[in-house]
Structure 1
Amino acid sequence: MHPPVRSIQKKKQNVEIVSTFPAQPSPMASLTICRATLTRLPALQLTTSPSASPSVSFNFNCFRSRILRIISPKRHHHHRATMASSAPAQERTTAPYGSWKSPITADVVSGASKGLEGTAVDGQGRLIVLESRPNEGGRAVLVRLADKAGDEAVDLTPKEFAVRTTCQEYGGGAFAVSGDTVIFSNYKDQRLYKQSINGRDSTPVAITPDYGSPVISYADGVFDYRFNRFFTVREDQRESATNSTTTIVAVDLNGKDVQEPTVVISGNDFYAFPRLDPKGERIAWIEWGHPNMPWDRSELWVGYISENGQKGRSYLSIVDDAQSSLSVLDIPFTDIDNITLGNHCLYIEGASAVDPSSVAKITLDAIQSKVLEFNIIWSSSPDSSKYQSYYSLPEFIEFPTEVPGQSAYAYFYPPSNPDYQASKDEKPPLLLKSHGGPTGETRGILNLSVQYWTSRGWAFVDVNYGGSTGYGREYRDRLLLKWGIVDVNDCCSCAKFLVDSGLVDGNRLCITGGSAGGYTTLAALAFKDTFKAGSSLYGVADVGLLRAETHKFESHYIDNLVGDEKDYYERSPINFVDQFSCPIILFQGLEDKVVPPDQARKIYEALKKKGLPVALVEYEGEQHGFRKAENIKFTLEQQMVFFARLVGHFNVADEITPIKIENFD
């Protein structure tokens, strides 16, 4: 079963990219599932080439990008139990919404759900995944999955290492595999390490200098076979932590001595996705500069590589897609994050309404247009199928905004528990979630943290307010200069729509969000009276302070989202604490550089002084987003009991010791 889904093209101003596959010695090496449309190839002073075609093509070897989405119209049953059961229905207990007991506990959500942060294939065609583990403090480990029945998955990363990069704060692209060699970024020191993954000696060896502290980080690299080096994006904070220097560098792989990487491409504010063509003669990358974000305006460059490094040539190319064709693969996933090319197969990172984030192995027919086999070989929540009878399936909804004739979108999850029902005259409490970004997107895929609420009798709605990605540029541009207005109005309009539709209790409306979603939460509580309580996770309280203190990658992000100095003041909830009128609980990581801890502390102290029920939870060792299982669990449980005590008017079924709430306990 699937919710109704809008089929929408995602476009960028200068580049429209879906994905392609890296060239490997395989009969499928020429397979293209997507295309890259180049509207401009500026000049590059890297190398010279005696001749070149006026039309340039190349492959993106994307092992860490979220740029492909496949929409499947129907559900396949692939070695998995269905939602329906032939067993006789058991009698359901009648109990108030929110008080239902559920097997989807906070322990299940925080501990059983692993994170998938990338895939690659080694020289023997075996799949390698980067797996983050909340039960190990959020440590990310490279794992080689079993290739055949009877084999076991093998951890490749030694226990004293963790594969993670903090480049541009958000990281991504923390490893690359070529044959039997992996290069990865180690979280503790942010150095690059080279490791043999199939030989006897698998001890990682550092290949970048030790600067005494992690002032330099690397991300998203690719092997250069011609000159035995490694191209990668580097962020250098040696001169300034707030205005770092970003370049593409080449790391030498020839000698035993660690050398300073060679800067190959520089001059702009940001770089991403360095990729080589199959012969290693050309390099392609994306770059952009302040005040733009990459989805607003970015450029795709191609340059030639040679030993003498003379000046290159520039080309202006227009690609006509009129003669191209596209075969749509019919697979169960409704959402695709990434594709890795294997030996005679594809590895797909994806999910659906009943599949958590997973990796599937796909075999195609001879003409590579139909799926012959589809098997899930890795799952972020391997035991999730045993909770299927408790799942609430997302319902895609379209609701009117405050602008006449305009709509916005969301995924609504009604309460669902086969063991319980509420009285006929009761409507459920609602938890509305505002996603981060703010130019992010929520998707109708299985998320156990959502099911944690719905299986206990809560209704849950995930809002894609105006400004969200995935609905076209015009939709995303709704947020320009109106952050804190459009997102807030749309969230309130969504809640009102659900109340007017008779789906939720208008007196028990709660809102939550993290990062930019936390800001929307605080702004909704400061400037509107729709919600009765809120939960902000590492959210923004002072937009002006965010602009002054945030990291380089987003240092100009909000210039296009807010406006002038007056707008910064008027959009900051911290300046209008007198307008808050309901309880709030805040959660904050003390090592967060994206939204510094002072943001949460300022709003906490102000609301405490005002006399409103408020609580603040701070986590040592956590950054922007919580990775440790115990903190994920604690956050989830404390939100539940906070809302139950102050808004829900029911007792939670779980044994949870509530934290102290100022001005309430």
Structure 2
Amino acid sequence: MERKIVPYGSWKSPITSELIIKDTVALEGIAYEGNDLYWLERLPSEGGRSRVMKKTSDNALAEQTPAPFNVRTRVHEYGGAPFAVFGERLYFSNFEDNLLYLKIGENQPKQITSDSNHRYADAGIDRPNQRLYWIREDHTNSSLAPETTIVVMNADGSDQKIAVSGNDFYSNPRVSPDAKHLAYLTWSHPHMPWDESELWVADINEDGTLSNNRKLTGGSGVSIVQPLWSPGGTLYFLSDHSNWWNLMRCYGSHKEEVCPVKAEFGSHSSVLGKSDYCFVDENTIIASYSQHGMRQLASVDVWNGRLNPITNRFTSFSSLQSNGDKVAFIAASPTEFPRITVMDTDSLKLEDIKIASEFLIDTDYLSLPEAIEFPTANNKTAHALYYAPSNPDFTAPKGEKPPLLVHAHGGPVGATSSALNLVKQYWTSRGFALVDVNYGGSTGYGREYRDRLRGRWGIVDVEDCANAVQYLIDRGDVDHGRVAIAGGSAGGYTTLASLVFTDIYKAGASHFGLSELESFVLETHKFESHYLHGLIAPYPEEKHVFHERSPIHFTDRLSCPVIFFQGLDDKVVPPNQAVPMVEALRKKGLPVAYLEFEGEGHGFRKAENIKRSIDGEFYFYSCIFGFEPADKIEPVEIDNLHSEEI
């Protein structure tokens, strides 16, 4: 069929906001218990409620935590690892009351804790002694500075007591197979776990308390993540001491590398429970690793250190778990939705268990990512994934170049993924080009690349995003007069800083982004309360730097329209980060829109709000860049938008 000639931005696409939210789930943590497989699903159609699902060895599939239970925790605010499985027992944190519940077999869940000021996550199981070790966050005395500890309790929730305390943060309590030792991670302000953390081990006493706590490794600028005992009782972990998060193991105080390679076996860990490798047996690890920003799967022979890549159709792997015979993980590719996949450890045959969306998309409408490396400041290079416009039904008028949407990921020490993301395809199938920038500071390229952002947030990320744009302009791919930048959370800050400190953009969208850094330091939650010490400067000693990097103080430099999206219940980036920026733009006479969402926190979970934010941003750009959307979209109220600007 001959393609219709239609301007970029006005292409009609089957990838609609309704499709993005319809019958779609977000797949999260996985757990094996024998041959039974458990995982977490987040349901936008139910207001973002999360539930635990179970697949038994006879292929029976059943929800374990029916409504109104919402399996989610806010330990460290970002949560993660809100459930654990132990025999027929399913333990989970319920979001509405912060309490732990226990479900045994087919019985109804029963409450096993009583204080809603206590939040729980990331359990370690002591099977021989029928006990669990949890990360507990106690908000009794302070909501901004809760006490974080490791607690131990009996399998029925009784006799809870503090096992480890004293440092600011703990994670990953892991019991050795013989139940004689507990390994755990710890770190304290001003460090973040991906900057500096320590691996400790302690002896487990008869009553579950700990003794002889001793540090094994980490600290002094080294990050340790994901400790895991082998089936035979050897402690493994990931360390970035060599510039890369590589596999290592401990024999007493002796530490040795398992598989030294210039690749990242770890990943950004703002949420608890990350699992990028698992044991098949005492000799073999299945691991996900990143090279050149792309994830791969491999087996590792732990004795000779040989890395054997496992070739399959996927480019994204997370939450790896094994029961010995099989390995389960969340997998995705640029053309396939995330899914729970099980791999047979002998044949390497894959079986899809649950797919995030059953909708079948004609791949001709999908834009495949191109990994680009481009020159940036200080004679360095940076990385991004570029998506060209793609729609088999349309082509643009001769000579027209597409508008470009620059995406700045969150974290900021995170990374973008090549996995199929319908929000990205929403844009490219309508005629936008999109570049997803892994600016300096992103994970996946080694510690040195990650450290580029230290003390230079608001500089390096801004430079790299701008240089990605210039690279694509110079290559002739995009229209220099129609470039927008968007991002959420830390990416929202990069967006606002880019709009203030550069002039390459013609519009922007901040999704719950920071505009004033000093108030963030004073008001944000404990986990990130010292984050900017490393990203910006020590506070209050270098208070002036916070002023110099805060977009709100430089609105006089703004010269383009901006739209803001804000959850009213956001505890990480509260509404007072957006409202002053909106008012400043209104007073300056620049087009500005502000959409707030009641009941939403940091990141939107409700289907109707996800839809509104996607369509609202597209509508905003249509008004600013002057194209007519192919679909009828609910208008957004834009202040200072005059008829000649449409």
1:137 to 36, 47, 50: 47
Show CA shifts across 1:208-264 (max 9, x none). Answer: 12x3xx42211111222233222110111111111111000012234xxx6562100
Shift of 1:152: 5.7
Task: Kindly indicate whether residue 5 of structure 2 is the aligned counterpart of residue 105 of structure 1.
Answer: no
Contact 1:104–1:387 (CA under 8 A) maintained in structure 2 = no
The alignment partner of 1:386 has SS state of: coil
User: Cα–Cα, structure 1 residues 504 and 313, in superposed 2: closer, same or farther, change >3 Å?
Assistant: closer
Show CA shifts across 1:3-43 (max 9, x none). Answer: xxxxxxxxxxxxxxxxxxxxxxxxxxxxxxxxxxxxxxxxx
Show CA shifts across 1:624-653 (max 9, x none). Answer: 000001000000000001001112x11001
Q: Which residue of 1 aligns with 2:3?
A: 92
Q: Which residue of 2 aligns with 1:660?
A: 637
Aligned residue identity for 1:428: P
Number of residue pairs matched by the alignment = 556
Show CA shifts across 1:32-87 (max 9, x none). Answer: xxxxxxxxxxxxxxxxxxxxxxxxxxxxxxxxxxxxxxxxxxxxxxxxxxxxxxxx
Shift of 1:161: 0.7
Shift of 1:114: 1.1
Divergent runs of 4+, >6 A:
none
What is the RMSD of the two structures over their aligned residues, measured on CA atoms? 1.6
Q: Which residue of 2 aligns with 1:630?
A: 608
Q: Which residue of 2 aligns with 1:205?
A: 110
CA distance in structure 2 between the aligned counterparts of 1:387 and 1:237, rounded to whole angstroms: 49
Aligned residue identity for 2:22: G
Q: Which residue of 1 aligns with 2:428?
A: 454
Contact 1:398–1:407 (CA under 8 A) maintained in structure 2 = yes
Aligned residue identity for 1:206: Q
Contact 1:392–1:416 (CA under 8 A) maintained in structure 2 = yes
Contact 2:203–2:211 (CA under 8 A) maintained in structure 1 = no
User: Cα–Cα, structure 1 residues 240 and 355, in superposed 2: closer, same or farther, change >3 Å?
Assistant: same
User: Cα–Cα, structure 1 residues 146 and 501, in superposed 2: closer, same or farther, change >3 Å?
Assistant: farther
2:151 to 249, 260, 265: 249
Task: Kindly indicate whether residue 249 of structure 2 is the aligned counterpart of residue 273 of structure 1.
Answer: no
1:161 to 52, 66, 69: 69
Q: Which residue of 2 aligns with 1:175?
A: 83
CA distance in structure 1 between the aligned counterparts of 2:426 and 2:436, rounded to whole angstroms: 14
Aligned residue identity for 1:447: N
What TM-score results when the alignment is normalised by the length of structure 1? 0.81
Show CA shifts across 1:588-627 (max 9, x none). Answer: 1111111111001111111111111111111111110000
The alignment partner of 1:524 has SS state of: helix
Task: Kindly indicate whether residue 103 of structure 2 is the aligned counterpart of residue 195 of structure 1.
Answer: yes
Contact 2:28–2:319 (CA under 8 A) maintained in structure 1 = no
Shift of 1:138: 0.2
Shift of 1:352: 1.6
The alignment partner of 1:659 has SS state of: coil
Shift of 1:419: 1.0
The alignment partner of 2:563 has SS state of: strand
Report matched runs for 1:426-445 at 5 Å.
426-445=400-419
Contact 1:128–1:144 (CA under 8 A) maintained in structure 2 = yes
1:235 to 137, 140, 144: 137
The alignment partner of 2:308 has SS state of: coil
Mean alpha-carbon deviation: is it higher for 319-328 or for 458-467?
A: 319-328
CA distance in structure 2 between the aligned counterparts of 1:324 and 1:663, rounded to whole angstroms: 62
Contact 2:27–2:41 (CA under 8 A) maintained in structure 1 = yes
Shift of 1:146: 6.8
Q: Which residue of 2 aligns with 1:360?
A: 341
User: Cα–Cα, structure 1 residues 247 and 313, in superposed 2: closer, same or farther, change >3 Å?
Assistant: closer
User: Cα–Cα, structure 1 residues 400 and 112, in superposed 2: closer, same or farther, change >3 Å?
Assistant: farther
Q: Which residue of 2 aligns with 1:513?
A: 487
The alignment partner of 1:396 has SS state of: strand
CA distance in structure 2 between the aligned counterparts of 1:142 and 1:361, rounded to whole angstroms: 17
Task: Kindly indicate whether residue 504 of structure 2 is the aligned counterpart of residue 526 of structure 1.
Answer: no
CA distance in structure 2 between the aligned counterparts of 1:263 and 1:313, rounded to whole angstroms: 14
Q: Which residue of 2 aligns with 1:71?
A: none
Contact 2:201–2:213 (CA under 8 A) maintained in structure 1 = no
1:304 to 203, 208, 226: 203
CA distance in structure 2 between the aligned counterparts of 1:537 and 1:505, rounded to whole angstroms: 24
User: Cα–Cα, structure 1 residues 146 and 503, in superposed 2: closer, same or farther, change >3 Å?
Assistant: farther
Contact 1:208–1:260 (CA under 8 A) maintained in structure 2 = no
CA distance in structure 2 between the aligned counterparts of 1:310 and 1:574, rounded to whole angstroms: 49
User: Cα–Cα, structure 1 residues 409 and 313, in superposed 2: closer, same or farther, change >3 Å?
Assistant: closer
2:94 to 186, 201, 214: 186
CA distance in structure 2 between the aligned counterparts of 1:556 and 1:630, rounded to whole angstroms: 34
Q: Which residue of 1 aligns with 2:385?
A: 411
Contact 1:103–1:387 (CA under 8 A) maintained in structure 2 = no
Q: Which has the higher contact order (CA 8 A, sep 6+)?
A: 1
Aligned residue identity for 1:227: N
User: Cα–Cα, structure 1 residues 313 and 534, in superposed 2: closer, same or farther, change >3 Å?
Assistant: closer
CA distance in structure 2 between the aligned counterparts of 1:595 and 1:480, rounded to whole angstroms: 21
Q: Which residue of 2 aligns with 1:55?
A: none
Q: Which residue of 2 aligns with 1:376?
A: 352
Contact 1:431–1:510 (CA under 8 A) maintained in structure 2 = yes
Shift of 1:310: 7.4
The alignment partner of 1:403 has SS state of: helix
CA distance in structure 2 between the aligned counterparts of 1:421 and 1:485, rounded to whole angstroms: 37
Contact 1:417–1:455 (CA under 8 A) maintained in structure 2 = yes
Aligned residue identity for 1:516: A
Shift of 1:387: 3.4
Shift of 1:481: 0.8
What residue ranges of structure 1 are gaps of 5+ in the alignment? 1-89, 366-370
1:351 to 326, 332, 337: 332
CA distance in structure 1 between the aligned counterparts of 2:362 and 2:508, rounded to whole angstroms: 28
Contact 1:512–1:535 (CA under 8 A) maintained in structure 2 = yes
What residue ranges of structure 2 are gaps of 5+ in the alignment? 215-251, 260-303
Shift of 1:268: 0.7
Mean alpha-carbon deviation: is it higher for 315-324 or for 491-500?
A: 315-324
CA distance in structure 2 between the aligned counterparts of 1:593 and 1:633, rounded to whole angstroms: 22
Determine what percentage of the aligned residue pairs are the same residue: 46
Contact 2:205–2:211 (CA under 8 A) maintained in structure 1 = no
Task: Kindly indicate whether residue 160 of structure 2 is the aligned counterpart of residue 261 of structure 1.
Answer: yes
What TM-score results when the alignment is normalised by the length of structure 2? 0.84
Show CA shifts across 1:542-600 (max 9, x none). Answer: 01111111100011111111122111001101011111111000001111111111001
The alignment partner of 1:637 has SS state of: helix
The alignment partner of 2:132 has SS state of: strand
Show CA shifts across 1:368-419 (max 9, x none). Answer: xxx4311222111222x43322110000001110222x10000000000111
CA distance in structure 1 between the aligned counterparts of 2:614 and 2:524, rounded to whole angstroms: 27
Point out the structure with the larger strand share: 2
Task: Kindly indicate whether residue 312 of structure 2 is the aligned counterpart of residue 341 of structure 1.
Answer: no
The alignment partner of 1:626 has SS state of: coil
